[in-house]
């Protein structure tokens, strides 16, 4: 609890171009539930360097991402929006938590296995201990709730295990966080292969809708989306391509799958794909316009970056000092 409110933490990597999956699975929910919580939304740039990055590009993407958080509707006066690398406690707590995490646990992480396979020439220790840094992000603010897409569930379970283990030794130090998974959009699939999640790192750009795609590109990608052979708009496991499009349509319009089936009863895939594309444009266009407007105001963004980093540093220090004392680090002399 912070100022009588429960605490919410979440973050996104400033790597690659953000996709509709990131938006519907995470960012959109962040905005919907923000008012109920004391919130910390981080641009997790420290996580990004587990894979080699071009420094100038990483800096640019981090700023773009931070601006997108605001453009999506998060008021930086009310929500602490900041760069992870500006708050020292993330790395400091991660080190301590590393000493409470087992190799066997990290070896089981599916994201590590996937990334290690993709970057076989650079399987660094950071890639392996990445989930511990993520646990530190969350536990540093005594977070109650963590809104994420389904792909992050395994990391969240590990965070809970680490927190419980630590509390088991030292008493009630950490709040045990819960995942918040949205009802729709928790796993947006690729438009070209509905068995795969839509991903920033997909080599095929037609599989993903990027948040900065212009309306024509969005419509074209939906027209090309892989569908199924039943030729009717029905929400079922046997039609994974159509199911994914229905999910996207519902997430963008607020309609239910049953309403969508009725709306497109007797109509072909062509009409439906067009409608899905338009529903996505109607959500992304205002976001893009607001982003362009905000990007022009350098001084405003700089002040958000500075003030919120200070706020995050202040709150995170409280937990960090407590943890340092518990594990036996000498007290600071003032
Ligand atoms: P990242 O940057 O890969 O993704 C950011 C958020 O987007 C969600 N997401 C999706 N949701 C639905 N469908 C998809 N296709 C899809 N793709 C991505 C992710 O679940 C995530 O919520 N390790 C994290 C970043 C992180 C973090 C944290 C998150 C670091 N520390 C602490 C929460 C709390 C990651 O790589 O997310």
User: Do both 110 and 253 map to the same domain?
Assistant: no
Q: Are residues 165 and 79 located together in one domain of the fold?
A: yes
Q: Whose CA is nearest to atom 14 of ligand 1?
A: 21
* Gap between the Cα atoms of 184 and 299, Å rounded: 36
Same domain, 119 and 261: no
The catalytic residue among 115, 221, 243, 273 is 115
Q: Evaluate whether residue 194 is within a structural domain.
A: no
Residues 135 and 40 in one domain: yes
pLDDT score at 72: 96
Domains contained in the chain, number: 2
In a shared domain, residues 160 and 48 = yes
Q: Which of 200, 223, 255, 326 is catalytic?
A: 200
Assess whether 73 and 88 both reside in one domain.
yes
Q: Which residues line ligand 1 (CB under 6 A)?
A: 9-13, 21-22, 25-26, 44, 47, 134, 137-138, 146, 148-149, 151-152, 185-188, 197-198
Name residue, tokens 């002040």: 303
Atom of ligand 1 nearest to the CA of 186: 12
Residue nearest to ligand 1 atom 20, measured at CA: 149
269 located within any domain? yes
**Ordered mean pLDDT values, 10 residues apiece, the chain (334 residues):** 90 91 93 95 97 95 96 97 98 98 97 91 95 98 96 97 98 97 88 94 92 96 91 91 96 96 93 97 97 97 98 98 98 90
C-alpha 172 – ligand 1 centre gap (Å): 28
Can you name the residues that pair with 12 across neighbouring β-strands?
Answer: 43
Q: Is 115 a catalytic residue?
A: yes
Instruction: Tell whether 250 and 276 lie within a shared domain.
Output: yes
The model's pTM is 0.94
**Is there a contact between 44 and 172 (Cβ–Cβ < 8 Å)?**
no
Residue whose CA is closest, atom 33 of ligand 1?
Answer: 10
Compute CA distances 85 → 44, 62, 92, 139, 333, whole Å.
Answer: 7, 11, 11, 16, 26
Q: Is 223 found in the same domain as 76?
A: no
Known catalytic residue: 255? Answer: no
Q: Which atom of ligand 1 is nearest to the CA of 133?
A: 31
Q: Are residues 55 and 85 in the same domain?
A: yes
| pLDDT at position 293 | 97
Question: Phi then psi for 141, rounded to 5 degrees?
Answer: -105, 10
90 in a structural domain: yes
Distances in Å between the Cα of 107 and the Cα atoms of 76, 95, 111, 158 are 37, 18, 10, 12
């Amino acid at each position: 609890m912070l100022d009588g409110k429960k605490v919410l933490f979440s973050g996104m990597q400033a790597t690659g171009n953000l996709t509709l999956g990131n938006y519907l699975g995470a960012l959109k929910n962040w905005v919907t539930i923000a008012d109920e919580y004391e919130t910390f939304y981080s641009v997790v740039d420290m996580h990004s360097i587990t894979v080699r990055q071009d420094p100038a590009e990483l800096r640019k993407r981090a700023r773009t991402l931070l601006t997108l958080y605001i453009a999506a509707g998060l008021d930086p006066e009310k929500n602490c929006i900041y760069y992870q690398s500006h708050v020292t406690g993330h790395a400091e707590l991660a080190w301590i938590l590393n000493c409470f995490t087992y190799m066997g646990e990290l070896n089981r992480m599916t994201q590590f296995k996937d990334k290690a396979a993709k970057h076989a020439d650079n399987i660094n220790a950071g890639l392996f201990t990445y989930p511990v840094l993520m646990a530190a992000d969350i536990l540093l603010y005594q977070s109650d709730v963590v809104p994420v897409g389904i792909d992050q569930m395994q990391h969240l379970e590990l965070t809970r295990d680490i927190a419980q283990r630590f509390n088991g030794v030292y008493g009630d130090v950490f709040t045990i966080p819960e995942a918040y998974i949205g009802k729709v959009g928790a796993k947006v699939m690729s438009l070209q292969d509905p068995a795969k999640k839509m991903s920033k790192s997909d080599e095929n750009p037609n599989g993903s809708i990027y948040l900065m795609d212009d309306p024509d590109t969005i419509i074209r990608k939906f027209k090309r989306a892989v569908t199924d052979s039943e030729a009717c708009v029905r929400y079922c496991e046997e039609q994974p391509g159509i199911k994914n499009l229905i999910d996207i349509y519902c997430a963008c319009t607020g309609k239910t799958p049953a309403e969508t089936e009725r709306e497109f009863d007797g109509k072909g895939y062509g009409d439906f794909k067009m409608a899905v594309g338009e529903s996505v444009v109607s959500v992304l266009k205002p976001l893009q316009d607001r982003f362009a407007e905000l990007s022009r105001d350098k001084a405003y963004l700089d002040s958000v970056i500075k003030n919120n980093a200070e706020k995050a540093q202040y709150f995170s220090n409280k937990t960090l000092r407590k943890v340092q004392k518990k594990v036996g680090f000498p007290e600071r002399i003032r």
